[in-house]
Structure 1
């Protein structure tokens, strides 16, 4: 039986080709114009196309770009996609010469170059926002270097530290995430153009020239890998996912700390919504939005990476238009998280009264008492720990602060019972030993919360961030410079 059907089938047109066409309009039209221009410049400079032919193609390309209102285009099925629309326009205006632009290239190497160009812009914006968050937290940590907080382990009050010290831990993670993202951004700086379908070309193409004109650092070397290896996608989205998994843990702490029963952090009124029925109830709902937007971003990254699972190592639609466009939503939601968190966290302050109350109620400085007994009284750590445990139980039972008169009396009794002698530590020394400020000040080893340790660490974080910013700016400079070079080279081909 004769098959009289004509491509595209209306259902295929509406469910696949039309959405892809809209995606190209929104995401790739500018990139396609740059690729067309760079490839034409290379064809002219290598002599693959005669100067007169190259000039005609250049002028016609420029005219098409000026004449076609991309936003107004609607997919009709006449051409498979926007690429073929441009080629059809070239051929309509130039005849067979219009097909010469596609010499020594394929939709395969063009597509992955387009995807990298589109990702490059989005990654640059996300990196800028991540750097802004790191900078804001470094500044906040400096301001809060003396601000006491209760550090929790297993959901329970553990030891005193400072807000600056806590933020320092978060900053270290953010900077490691930023380094991973920077590495993936560098992975986008290798150009697939020149790979053609799979095996490069028999024409004497100059792959480095096209890479330079498009702002890439260099060509991606193996031509098969140019169209098959999508680790630039899986690696990138994996690194983005980690950012929001890690920030989600910070966000969860903010939720816990802001709970009425804990009250360690105060969220300003500008970031609190009042209940519609309970006027006493302050709802720090930005925290909830941060949490769910971070989770949505993680899910969107997983979707992209998961789509690549068990796909063949070749050119395939699984890694192309549909999934590429779907992945861009991760940048949108991730950007919202970073921008909101950069505003939210520096605006919050620690509730010193609640910190002091919890410090006393949970006896969280007792570790320093044990340490001091080892240093000053010559006890073993285990014996000192047992004395400290007895004192802690006593003051918690009586509901009095560790540094109170009752606390010292409990200490004297526990010490005498364990050692058979009177401690050399008098009441004033005892009170100073178990003070939260003393606890923090004595922990001045590298990585500790004392300012002597924390401030140099913050200086180091700032230096790491400055290096990352410099690397980001170098990429931006290369891209901007390439755009100028491309425009100048294209003008030369046109003869203008």
Structure 2
């Protein structure tokens, strides 16, 4: 089979060279974007008088037929035609004859593929944002049910202070809200049309780039044709945003894995998001959470791969840039799958409130409350810190907790302590009193939840 670009060449490449050169195995995912870009381009060519009305109508009809075949999976893509663009042009010529060869007038594969990827990411980013919202909705549902469920808060993975479990969950809501905003902002760079930039220098045909951009729903065009065909910043930005999002999911996954362990028993994962062992009958493994945690590596890798590909490339297009697509596709599929899994995991997880209550009543996470109590009575905080530290040491030596100390024992440490201290040491009281804006106090957590609901409703 002769190449569509083969006029210059007297010898065809060997089959294994074709296979190495071809990208059709993965860029066929751009089939609909490529066809839509072609329809817009041909429509513009017709309106500009570059193609006759008859030619325009014939080509658009042929492209419509290819769209139907593509939707039905009836296009036999071939590595001999290298990529999605040459495959579709080959099919078009087969469908409507040599007039199909006029499809490529006034454009290059360089601006064509860039247009396809802008269209692809524009759609996928919107879908990813919807999936982020679904995870946030699941978080909000669980948070609404557990405002007054008290859980140990941690720093360094050591018990720190008691918190509302809803407060802990809502931290992830706000992480995802930043992720949503980053994707939103990235649309300014994605929603730009390179179509009509040609190979690198534009074209001598009197095309109307603004019109083709309008037909494709782009808000603007690239101002420089060389930049238009060589820019992959918008993909790098997407990969960076995706890396941030899946990093947040991985952190949450790690906590869910820990919480569901026998040692913690704070939550139980639904059977639908767990698996068993082939040898140990008792096992219930949090495999879906572990997979999300593990998939961060491939998403991060895709980002660094493209950064490395582009770092030394001269302008404008180079074949190296064929390596921009597989990582982009993989990241889209990986992130979307992870978000879908996460929404289900959070929505169906069972929070073990009794176990959480036991946990916060059997630790020293109320030590800061006692220090604050003494400071509020006039003792300098550093001195209060030392007094409480010594009381904690006494408790550790006696294998008891602060609430188990007698009033006499406490007053020996500081005469400022009175009966009120036992109320102060209650975990629920410790949480309720933290009413600083953004704190874990119950009313503050409810304020957060209301603000979050407003965001989702908007």
**TM-score > 0.5 by shorter chain:** yes
* Mapped partners of 2:284, 2:31: distance in 1: 47
Contact 2:110 2:229 in 1 (8 A): yes
Contact 1:233 1:305 in 2 (8 A): no
* Residue 361 (structure 1) shift: 3.5
> What per-residue deviation string (whole Å, max 9, x for no partner) do you get for residues 320-351 of structure 1?
3x430343122222222211211112322343
1:229–1:313 contact (8 Å) kept in structure 2: no
Contact 1:190 1:217 (C-alpha < 8 Å) held by counterparts? yes
**1:92 CA displacement:** 7.0
Contact between 1:27 and 1:118, CA under 8 Å: does it hold in 2?
no
8 Å CA contact retained: 1:147, 1:350 = no
Match of residue 11 from structure 1 = 16
Secondary structure, aligned partner of 2:148: coil
SS at match of 1:362: coil
How many equivalent residue pairs?
Answer: 450
Aligned ranges 1:26-175 → 2 under 5 Å: 26-62=28-64, 71-75=74-78, 77=80, 79=81, 81-87=83-89, 97-175=99-177
Map of 1:433 onto structure 2: 424
Aligned to 1:414: 413
- Where structure 2 has 5 or more consecutive residues not aligned to the other structure, the ranges are 1-7
Task: Report if the CA contact (8 A) 2:226-2:315 is conserved.
Answer: no
Structure 2 residue 416 is matched with structure 1 residue 423: yes
Partner of 1:475: none
Q: Partners in 2 of 1:454 and 1:432 — Cα distance? A: 21
1:403 alignment partner, SS class: helix
CA distance in 2, matches of 1:437, 1:70: 60
Distance in 2 (CA, whole Å) between partners of 1:57 and 1:284 is 53
Q: Where do 1:48-447 residues align within 5 Å?
A: 48-62=50-64, 71-75=74-78, 77=80, 79=81, 81-87=83-89, 97-320=99-322, 322-375=323-376, 377-404=377-404, 406-415=405-414, 422-423=415-416, 425-426=418-419, 429-447=420-438
Provide the TM-score with structure 1 as the length reference: 0.82
Q: Quote how far apart the aligned CAs of 1:353 are.
A: 3.8
Provide the TM-score with structure 2 as the length reference: 0.88
Farther-moved stretch of structure 1 (387-396 vs 439-448): 387-396
Task: Please provide the CA RMSD for this pair.
Answer: 2.8
The whole-number CA distance in structure 2 between the counterparts of 1:67 and 1:148 is 57
- Per the alignment, in what secondary structure is the counterpart of residue 160 of structure 2? strand
C-alpha displacement of 1:384: 1.7
C-alpha displacement of 1:458: 2.3
CA distance in 1 between counterparts of 2:16 and 2:328 reads 24
**Structure 1 portions without partners, runs of 5+:** 416-421, 468-496
Whether the 8 Å contact between 2:239 and 2:299 is mirrored in structure 1 is no
Q: Secondary structure at the match of 2:74?
A: helix
For the structure 1 residues 351 and 5, does the alpha-carbon distance in structure 2 shift closer, same or farther, using more than 3 Å as the test?
Answer: same
Shift in CA distance, 278/164, structure 1 to aligned 2, threshold 3 Å? same
CA shift in 2, pair 1:88/1:274, >3 Å: closer
- CA distance in 2 between partners of 1:94 and 1:281 (Å): 61
Aligned to 1:458: 449
**CA displacement, residues 17-65 of structure 1 (integer Å, 9 cap, x when unaligned):** 2xx23334x3122222212211111112222333344334444544666
**Are the equivalent residues in 1 in contact too, given 2:235–2:328 (CA < 8 A)?**
no
Offset at residue 210 of structure 1 (A): 0.8
Query: Does 1 or 2 have the higher relative contact order (CA < 8 Å, sep 6+)?
Result: 1
